[in-house]
């Protein structure tokens, strides 16, 4: 058990961001392929396609699987936005009185006029911040899980902070090495922008 926890924890510490992205893409492909297989099977009852059920299932699975991969990438950002929106509203509710007083002091407008919009603004700001920092959240979350698994595997408390610090540094350097930075487009995106 300790060996399993140690190997899994080390993999999450060093490659958590990559494992997460591959997992999201795999789930997207498998979901799309399952749906596409059923679509292909449904189309195989057409008179011109009778007898080609397997071919239609495979074609449908591949096409919809690739669509699923594309949608999975966007879906994770949708989830990040929703999580950020909930966090933004919760933070506003927690510190609402102080924020209203700050707004009133800075703008001279009574906070009660804008109170209904306050939750919406907090949700949008929180959602956008979470979307912008989604990669960093993934690194931190996979790192925390991996470091805690290593601490349990080695039965030493000091392993967790050391593994967390080393793992975050390694993952962020690897992201930088692959040209992935949240504040600017990836190399592939820059190439697509240059062609348009």
The pTM of the full predicted model, rounded to 2 decimals, is 0.60
> Is residue 195 domain-resident?
no
> Is residue 89 domain-resident?
yes
Total of domains in the chain: 1
> Is residue 63 domain-resident?
yes
**pLDDT at position 196, please?**
44
Q: What's the number of CA atoms in the CB half-sphere (13 Å) around residue 29? A: 8
**pLDDT at position 185, please?**
47
> Is residue 172 domain-resident?
yes
Closest CA to 168 of 153, 149, 147: 147
> Is residue 196 domain-resident?
no
**pLDDT at position 182, please?**
45
* Structural domain containing residue 96: 2-188
For residues 152 and 3, is the Cβ–Cβ distance under 8 A?
no
pLDDT (tens digit per residue) in 118-135:
778 888 888 888 888 887
> Is residue 62 domain-resident?
yes
> Is residue 193 domain-resident?
no
If you ran DSSP here, which 8-state letter would residue 95 be given?
S
**pLDDT at position 34, please?**
93
pLDDT (tens digit per residue) in 26-65:
999 999 999 998 888 888 777 777 777 888 889 989 999 9
> Is residue 99 domain-resident?
yes
């Amino acid at each position: 058990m300790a060996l399993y926890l140690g190997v899994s924890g080390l993999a999450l510490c060093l490659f958590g961001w990559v494992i997460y992205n591959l997992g999201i893409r795999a789930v997207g492909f498998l979901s799309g392929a399952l749906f596409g297989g059923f679509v292909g099977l449904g189309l195989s009852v057409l008179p011109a396609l009778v007898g080609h059920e397997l071919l239609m299932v495979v074609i449908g699975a591949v096409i919809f699987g690739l669509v699923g991969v594309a949608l999975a990438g966007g879906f994770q950002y949708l989830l990040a936005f929703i999580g950020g929106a909930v966090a933004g509203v919760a933070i506003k509710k927690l510190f609402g009185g102080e924020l209203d007083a700050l707004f009133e002091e800075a703008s001279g407008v009574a906070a009660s006029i804008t109170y209904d919009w306050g939750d919406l603004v907090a949700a949008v700001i929180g959602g956008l911040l979470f979307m912008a920092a989604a990669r960093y959240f993934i690194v931190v979350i996979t790192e925390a899980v991996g470091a805690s698994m290593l601490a349990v595997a080695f039965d030493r408390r000091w392993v967790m902070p050391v593994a967390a610090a080393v793992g975050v540094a390694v993952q962020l350097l690897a992201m930088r090495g692959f040209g992935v930075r949240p504040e600017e487009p990836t190399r592939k995106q820059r190439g697509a922008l240059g062609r348009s």
